[in-house]
Amino acid sequence: MTNSTSKRTGLGYADILVGAVIITVLYFLITWATHAHHYYPETGGISLSLTKLPLYALYSWLRMFAAYVISLIFTFGYAYLAAYNKRAERILIPLLDILQSIPVLSFLPVILLAFIALFPHSSLGVNLASIVLIFTGQVWNMVFGLYNGLITIPADLKESARSFNLSAWQRFRLLELPFSMVGLVWNSMMSWAGGWFFLMAAEMFSLGNRNYQLRGLGSYLQTAANQGNWLKEVWGLIVLIFVIVGMDQLVWRPLLAWADKFKMEITEGAVRPRSAILMVLRRSIIVEWLGSHVISPATQWADHLFGHTLPQLTEKPPIATFSGIIRALLLTLFLFAVFTAWQGTVHLMAHWTWLQIFTVMMAVGSTLTRVLAALLISVLWTVPLGVFIGSHPKWAETLTPLTQIAASIPATALFPGLVALLIGVGGGLNTASILLMVLGTQWYILFNVIAGASAIPTDLREAATIFGLKRWQTWKTLILPAIYPYLITGLITASGGAWNASIVAEYVSYHNHTYTTFGVGSMIAQSSQKGQFSLLLLATASLAVIVVFINRFVWRSLYNRASKRYSL
């Protein structure tokens, strides 16, 4: 069969658009790389001029993109090792539960000091530190998504891969990655939104008596809030929303439409995602040429290099020897990092007092109360709305993109204005911080409930109608049991997001005034800014202990019950 696309000659409108985008991207990259700006380590280097907003938006997007690339590479390695190495899984998955709940600012001192030491008197070190901080806000959700995709591959597909004698690389390219692609794209969207959430904390931060800020939307919004310039704050939010909508239309929607072909089955009556950008790319001769002359040869080269099963030889082949050397070097580096970290930890632990330990425990208890309240409020409204969207495909086509855009808008950019409105409410920031946590946790639950409701088989819905079940009976016997596994998954990720959001919900600055409420989040934020590393370590370690305890005795038991009793 002759491919109809091969008969097309000449450039069309699709190729003009694709070519223009490529040239524009190259131009901005070259301009950004060759026109380095002077580094401003102290406050005062952020201009609130509206003409600077497009450039600041580009800087923030580039940091987000760099962090996402690092997150993607880390995700493939971490999730694959956890899914296929049982001994590693027993360590990596609990470790992942801890890492996703540790606030971003807890990583700040080590990351910032390390990169500043590597690149002194240069903005490169602070930029790299900012990228790594954004990475810590993006990566965990992606790892969980890919890990769940890998461990849920049907046994018959795995058996087929073994019968065809596929190598590890071929299984990854032909089975594991395609099977996990839809979940990876959705989790990438949520992870990108998580990066926006902590953008302000990752571009403008303090350590000891030094203040660091980078040109970007996060610093612009924070500076406008500190000065009480609400007009500039609104303009910054408008530009941020414009960037988010552009990402949704130009990147995520085409990716979702492309990834739809990897679904194992299409539910009858389901709305297939569509994208005009993807249609343009499919009609482009430039994209077709890149696919046949770049991507296909690269794939064939990788198949030739890794696509054969290595024979059992007494002498190890060169590639196995090389990989062994790499593993040995990585293990040596890891052991050195652990030893260095242990030395620093022991030194900081020597400064702990019983009064500090008691105060931190009380702070953890206060934040835990707010986290539980935020989860309860989120469940009360996300479950009914999520079930409605997931059960009505026509409404889903309209509401799902709106919820995706709303989830991508960083709640931290709204915090100063919300605090100004809520600070007069009874309880002050103690009450307002719960609502601020809700803004950072509700979307995890909503999207999981939507996925659970849309996965309810049609025949079960028809059976409920045939038996004449009333609305509350349908919820009790069908809807709630069906969405239960998805709801627990959403609550697990939302609880991690709530703990992480505590640093910005319990410690808010605007109009040169700082509002705090007692909790481990505000304690971490203040100790990080003041350079009190001993207290920072104690607060972070206490937070990790309570997270491990809750995950082990609450979430894990609920998750096991969901998978055994309520799985379809």
| The CA-based dihedral angle spanning residues 61, 63, 68, 70, taken in that order and rounded to the nearest 10 degrees | 160
Q: Summarize pLDDT for 110-129 with one digit per residue, the tens.
A: 677 777 767 776 777 888 88
Considering 55-59, 82-86, 172-176, 490-494, the range whose residues carry the highest mean pLDDT is 55-59
Please report which confidence band the pLDDT of residue 34 belongs to, taking 50, 70 and 90 as the band edges. Answer: very low
- Phi and psi at residue 281, to the nearest 5°: -65, -40
pLDDT at 302 over 90: no
First-last CA distance in the chain = 41
Task: Give residue 262's pLDDT.
Answer: 74
For residue 236, pLDDT beyond 80: yes
| Confidence bin at 1 (pLDDT 50/70/90) | very low
What angle in degrees, to the nearest 10, is found between the helix axes of 533-550 and 520-530? 150
Mean pLDDT value of segment 51-73: 90
Q: What pLDDT is stored for residue 68 in this prediction?
A: 92
Res 213 pLDDT > 50: yes
Burial class (CB in 10 A: 0-12, 13-18, 19+), 94: middle
Whether residue 310 has pLDDT greater than 60: no
Q: With bands split at pLDDT 50, 70 and 90, how would you rate the model's confidence at 372?
A: very high
From the list 149, 154, 140, 171, the residue with the least C-alpha distance to 78 is 140
Least confidently predicted of 15-29, 77-91, 522-536: 15-29
d(CA 368, CA 518): 12
Query: What's the pLDDT at 420?
Result: 67
Is the model's pLDDT at 565 over the cut of 90?
A: no
**39: pLDDT confidence band, cut at 50, 70 and 90?**
very low
Answer whether CATH 1.20.1730.10 is correct for domain 351-568: no
Question: Is a pLDDT exceeding 60 seen at residue 10?
Answer: no
Mean pLDDT score across all residues of the chain: 75
Q: Which amino acid is at 464?
A: A
In this predicted structure, what is the pLDDT of residue 373? 92
Range in 62-76, 110-124, 178-192 with the lowest mean pLDDT: 110-124
Per the model's pLDDT, the better-predicted residue between 276 and 140 turns out to be: 140
Tell me the pLDDT tens digit for each residue of 543-561: 878 877 887 788 778 877 7
Binned at pLDDT 50, 70 and 90, residue 65 comes out as: very high
CA–CA separation, 58 and 549 (whole Å): 41
- In this predicted structure, what is the pLDDT of residue 546? 83
pLDDT at 152 over 70: yes
b/e 477-510 (16+ beta carbons within 10 angstroms → b): ebbebbbbbbbbbbbbbbbbbbbbbbbbbbbbbb
Residue 38 has pLDDT above 60, yes or no: no
Q: Which of 109-118, 364-373, 449-458, 472-481 has the lowest mean pLDDT?
A: 109-118
Flag whether pLDDT at 5 surpasses 80: no
**pLDDT at res. 311:** 43
Rounded CA separation 8/344 (Å): 64
pLDDT, average across residues 301-328:
53
Confidence grade of residue 345 (pLDDT, cut at 50, 70, 90): low
Residue labelled with tokens 């058996």: 159
Q: What pLDDT, on the 0 to 100 scale, is given for residue 231?
A: 86
Query: Which class does domain 39-307 fall in?
Result: mainly alpha
Comparing 48-62, 87-101, 514-528, the range with the smallest average pLDDT is: 87-101
Which of the two residues, 440 and 32, has the higher pLDDT score? Answer: 440
Distant-in-sequence, close-in-space partners of 540: CB < 8 Å, separation ≥ 6: 102, 103, 106, 524
| pLDDT over 70, % of the chain | 72
